[in-house]
């Protein structure tokens, strides 16, 4: 340590360089800005994804209520109509025409039968939609509406931790199971 002090004492330029603290603030800011930015983007990504999930759940509840009360008749419902009804309610946060939206509406004989339905993934890590249908039941029938949306993860460093589907997307999911009210078919 003494040899370093002697060296600095002999070289006045080195002494001034060692005493100059004007760049320390810039370096400290840079060291703190990077983790702060990462944290900020992680919070924003999570919040937007959560808002999308809530929007999807509310849209699913609204459409299920119309089916349950007979405002939308079973004979009128098809996949295109169901997708449009849900897409209109979530278009605030998703791409035009909801290209990543999947719907499944089926009638069941019991609630236990509906509870056994599971989400399956394909070998490549996508949703298996092979058994999805749009087949609602009449008055007093038991129905289940499942809605899926492949949500894109926008922040690069969050993709690995947030995505659970292929193409770095995460699955947003909402479901409602109900018994239709008595209404005229």
At 111-169, the pLDDT tens digits run 999 999 999 999 998 999 999 999 999 999 999 999 999 998 888 777 777 788 888 88
- Higher-pLDDT residue of 54 and 160 is 54
Q: What is the structure's pLDDT at 3?
A: 63
Pairing of strands 101-108, 169-179: unpaired
C-alpha span between 1 and 9 (Å, rounded): 12
Q: What is the structure's pLDDT at 106?
A: 96
Check: CB of residue 115 under 8 Å from CB of residue 181.
no
Mean pLDDT of 85-95: 91
177 has which bridge partners? Answer: 144
Query: Is the confidence at residue 84, as pLDDT, over 60?
Result: yes
Q: What is the structure's pLDDT at 155?
A: 81
Q: What is the structure's pLDDT at 17?
A: 55
Q: What is the structure's pLDDT at 176?
A: 97
Contacts 24+ apart (CB under 8 A), 130-134: 132/102, 132/103, 132/104, 133/104, 133/105, 133/106, 134/77, 134/78, 134/79, 134/82, 134/103, 134/104, 134/105
Residue 73, token pair as written in the block: 């008749």
165 has which bridge partners? Answer: 169
Q: What is the structure's pLDDT at 69?
A: 95
| 3-class secondary-structure state, position 24 | helix
- Higher-pLDDT residue of 28 and 144 is 144
């Amino acid at each position: 340590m003494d040899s370093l002090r002697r060296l600095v004492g002999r070289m006045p330029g080195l002494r001034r360089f060692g005493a100059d603290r004007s760049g320390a603030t810039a370096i400290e800011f840079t060291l703190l800005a990077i983790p702060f930015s990462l944290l900020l983007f992680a919070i924003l990504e999570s919040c937007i994804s959560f808002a999308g999930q809530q929007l999807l759940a509310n849209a699913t509840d609204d459409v299920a209520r119309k089916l349950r009360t007979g405002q939308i008749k079973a004979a009128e419902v098809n996949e295109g109509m169901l997708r449009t009804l849900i897409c209109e309610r979530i278009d605030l946060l998703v791409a035009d025409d909801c290209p990543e939206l999947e719907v499944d509406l089926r009638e069941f004989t019991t609630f236990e039968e509906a509870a056994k339905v599971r989400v399956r993934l394909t070998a490549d890590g996508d949703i298996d939609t092979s058994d999805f249908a749009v087949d609602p039941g009449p008055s007093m029938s038991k129905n289940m509406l499942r809605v899926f949306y492949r949500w894109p993860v926008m922040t690069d460093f969050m993709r690995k931790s947030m995505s659970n589907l292929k193409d770095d997307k995460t699955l947003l999911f909402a479901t409602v199971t109900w018994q239709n009210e008595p209404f005229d078919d």
